[in-house]
Structure 1
Amino acid sequence: MNRNKERLRQLWTRYKDLLGQGNIGRTEPSPQAKEARELYEKEIWPLTKEGFVDRGQQQYKASFHTVGTTPEPVILSARALNAEKVYLLHTKDTEKLCERIEKELGWGVDRIKTLQVSRSDPEDIYRQVRQQIDRLDPKDPIAFDPTGGTKAMVAGLAMFAFSLAEEGRIAHVYYVDNEEYDDQLRRPVAGTEFLKRLENPREVIPDWLYNRGKEAYSQGDFARAKQNFSQAAEREGKANSLEAILSEAYAHIDAAQFESAKTKLEELRSLLQKPPYKQSPFAKYTNTIREQKEGLEEIIYLANSLSSRNIVPLAEPQKVAWALAALDFMAGRRQSAGRIAEAVLLRYRALEFFLQHRLAQRGFDTAKPDFQKLCETVQMSLEDLKIKYQVERNGAGLKTEDKLEQKTDVDFVTAFFLLRALGDNAAQAVNPNKLVGLAKARNSSVFAHGFEPPKEGMANDLAQVLQTLVERGGLPKVEYSPIPLA
């Protein structure tokens, strides 16, 4: 868009008339041709540049431009994109044009950098642009303008720019288009130029978007999967995407947003009961969807009860099984993504949660321990409980605790040996030295005790201990295994 468009149209008519006067059969430029050139340089081009009001979609850290034999489009796009750093990709033949571009932009050598590239090797552009991009923060937005240059240069820069989206970068491709092209002069009519953004084919073609969604889903990146599935459905004009709804449900579970996850699974079940979706491949997983939704309901009820310090539901195996399944789902996603510290933290919480469950079955609240009441429940004297507790601790090489009954809260190590003293078959199935080792590793990861980063082996050991406890604890076998996509 150019605010000087009407004035430029008048000047363009005069410009064409001058070029058409007395030029047929001449070997030297006519006076009219010289006048036309002066008209272009002194009036048309300055008004074109000054009136070009288009802007890029956002502020860019860097912009890359291929320089062809016509510098004007590069100048227009560079001004419009207004990036913090501008790279001019030129060949040996177009190097001199960079001087004009730099001069007209007037931004100085610190902001503009020239890169000589091969005119026929797209890989050369890739290598040189990659070197510059690797110096930027991955979150920095980047713009590309392949308007000028050879076909190889244009193709190389555009393909590279579009591929950056696969890396999660913000990479936008623009080119200077025009509303009118003068076939006689073989150039755009001045004042009709505009900056156009090219959509990444991978982001607009439904099949590509759907396949990217499937890939993200298989990798456990449910938020990205939801985004791609939603975009694919939008491009196809679909009212709903079952894949997007399911992905969003798992994304909510991964973020411990259980109410939102339940809502999404309810929405999915409701759609599967309607005629347009009854033949969907998801229809055969209706029971699984229902079970996972009901599991979320169990977790929500349990969480609400515990927030008001009601530990009665904590004794129910079904509710605890689903809560542990959710924690395992969350930990597994993080471990697969290399986020080991988060995975370890979640597995420690699951271990603690299971031990709290076993004690809750005996009416014991680890946050408000009442050892006398516990002894009455299990029909054991407090003295006998203390003796058995110390025997279990000593067997694992831990020092004696003389005042067990005075504890104001019970951590997972105390809970473990307390359960062993009570004869709990689940706790007794785990090697006490293994659990003590995990406790020490946890303490070492705390900043005040050395801040040793958790390793993947610790996450695996925790998962193994949890599996043993769950199996021996008689919990129902439930899991949040993602439903397969067609």
Structure 2
Amino acid sequence: MNAEQFSDNIQSWMDLSGSGRHAEAEKFYYKELFEAVITAFCKKYTGRKTGGLLVSLLGFSPEPVILTASLLQPATHLIVTTPLKQEIVQVLEKYLQPGYQLVILEDTSFKTIYKRIKESLSDFPTSNITVDITGGKKSMVAAAAIFAKDYGSEIVYVDFEVYLKELRKPKPGTEYLNVIYDPLTDQPETSIING
């Protein structure tokens, strides 16, 4: 898809969403835009490390989980979430590589979340861990971030350059990977001691 066609499709999607035809807009997004969004997102980070364990938090929007997984190509992908709507599961099945694991939380307490992520290390031992905190409840994000720091894991967030306030969505194609914490470079306690 060329840039003009992509731009036209974004406008069509915005028009559908803005007119209140949300179900139609969502179908259009996945049919006409999302593959191009994935491709553009991955092109921005050619040569980035892949493999390892990816822990994704999932709320109501599966797109960030799919973008991060498409980029990182994890050997193991653990998606931590609360009970999901079937439509979200169908989107995951369509766009993710087979083999990801859904961890449905019985509650979102710190202990439950931390324990469930930690248990995954027993099943999939690796030191190459990335935690994507884009989705999920704030309690999930806090527990996952503390886990990531404790286990020397990279923390990432799918962010965007343009937010369409009236639609409460990022403008397609403006998504980017924000590295919140990289244990190889972001050790403030080490620089305070050594500096």
Normalised-by-shorter TM-score class:
0.7 to 0.9
- 1:353-364 to structure 2, matched below 5 A, reads none
In structure 2, what residue type is equivalent to 1:61? G
- Kept in 2, the 8 Å contact 1:88–1:98? The answer is no
- 1:199-210 to structure 2, matched below 5 A, reads 199-200=181-182, 204=186, 206=188, 208-210=189-191
In structure 2, what residue type is equivalent to 1:127? K
1:49 partnered with 2:38: yes
Unaligned runs of 5+ in 2: none
Q: C-alpha separation between the residues in 2 aligned to 1:58 and 1:201?
A: 14
In structure 2, what residue type is equivalent to 1:155? A
Structure number with higher helix proportion: 1
1:70 partnered with 2:56: no
Q: Deviations over 1:212-255 (max 9, x none)?
A: x5xxxxxxxxxxxxxxx3xxx4xxxxxxxxxxxxxxxxxxxxxx
Q: Deviations over 1:296-336 (max 9, x none)?
A: xxxxxxxxxxxxxxxxxxxxxxxxxxxxxxxxxxxxxxxxx
Q: Deviations over 1:376-400 (max 9, x none)?
A: xxxxxxxxxxxxxxxxxxxxxxxxx
Instruction: Return the match for 1:161 from 148, 158, 168.
Output: 148
Q: Give the secondary structure class of the aligned counterpart of 2:83.
A: coil
- CA 1:34/1:83 → structure 2, altered by over 3 Å: closer, same or farther? closer
Query: Counterpart of 1:40?
Result: 29
In structure 1, what residue type is equivalent to 2:17? L
Q: Give the secondary structure class of the aligned counterpart of 2:108.
A: coil
Instruction: Return the match for 1:144 from 118, 131, 136.
Output: 131
1:13 partnered with 2:11: yes
Query: Taking CA–CA contacts closer than 8 Å with sequence separation of 6 or more, which of the two structures ends up with the larger relative contact order?
Result: 2
Query: Counterpart of 2:179?
Result: 197
How far has the Cα of 1:93 moved from its partner? 3.8
- CA 1:128/1:37 → structure 2, altered by over 3 Å: closer, same or farther? closer
How far has the Cα of 1:16 moved from its partner? 2.1
Unaligned runs of 5+ in 1: 24-28, 166-170, 214-228, 234-486
How far has the Cα of 1:122 moved from its partner? 2.0
Q: C-alpha separation between the residues in 2 aligned to 1:86 and 1:10?
A: 34
User: Larger Rg: 1 or 2?
Assistant: 1
Query: Counterpart of 1:333?
Result: none
Query: Counterpart of 1:281?
Result: none
TM-score by length of 2: 0.83
Q: Deviations over 1:349-382 (max 9, x none)?
A: xxxxxxxxxxxxxxxxxxxxxxxxxxxxxxxxxx
How far has the Cα of 1:96 moved from its partner? 6.0
1:133 partnered with 2:133: no
Q: C-alpha separation between the residues in 1 aligned to 2:23 and 2:85?
A: 24
Q: C-alpha separation between the residues in 2 aligned to 1:34 and 1:113?
A: 27
How far has the Cα of 1:95 moved from its partner? 7.0
Structure number with higher strand proportion: 2
How far has the Cα of 1:63 moved from its partner? 0.7
Q: C-alpha separation between the residues in 2 aligned to 1:4 and 1:151?
A: 38
How far has the Cα of 1:158 moved from its partner? 1.2
Instruction: Return the match for 1:176 from 147, 154, 158.
Output: 158
TM-score by length of 1: 0.36
1:187 partnered with 2:175: no
- 1:233-272 to structure 2, matched below 5 A, reads 233=195
- CA 1:188/1:100 → structure 2, altered by over 3 Å: closer, same or farther? same
How far has the Cα of 1:157 moved from its partner? 0.7
- 1:430-469 to structure 2, matched below 5 A, reads none
In structure 2, what residue type is equivalent to 1:154? V
Q: Give the secondary structure class of the aligned counterpart of 1:184.
A: coil
Q: C-alpha separation between the residues in 2 aligned to 1:190 and 1:136?
A: 34
How far has the Cα of 1:35 moved from its partner? 5.0
Q: C-alpha separation between the residues in 1 aligned to 2:95 and 2:133?
A: 19
Q: Deviations over 1:80-127 (max 9, x none)?
A: 11111111111124576234313321x22xx31111124531221111
